[in-house]
Amino acid sequence: MIRTGVTKIKNNSKLVNKYLNNIHVMNDELLGIDINVLEELLNDIDSWRTCCDELELKIKSHPQYYADKKPYEYDDENKELLIY
C-alpha cells in the first residue's frame, strides 16, 4: 500500500488528537503525579507549541491558502481600499 502525504498527515493528526486527549482527561490524576514528570510534560508542551506554530506558519505561507480569499476589500461608503 502506498502512503501519500495526505494519508500520513491525516493519520498522524488523528494520533496527536488521541494522545493529547488521553493526557487531557487525566486532569484529576495530575495532582498525584511526581512534579519532575509534570515538569517534563511542560517542556514537551512547550516543544509541541513551537512545532504547532511552525506548522501554522508553513500552512499559512502556502500559495493556495489565501487563493480563495480576497486580499482586499473596497469600502464604498468612505471610498477606501482596505488591504489585509
Q: What's the CA gap between 47 and 28, in Å, rounded?
A: 24
The pLDDT score that the predictor gives to residue 34 is 93
Q: Output the pLDDT for position 42.
A: 94
More confident residue, 55 or 65: 55
**What is this structure's pTM?**
0.64
d(CA 34, CA 16): 24
- 62 — pLDDT class (breaks 50, 70, 90): confident
pLDDT in tens, 6-55: 999 999 999 999 999 998 898 888 888 999 999 999 999 999 999 999 99
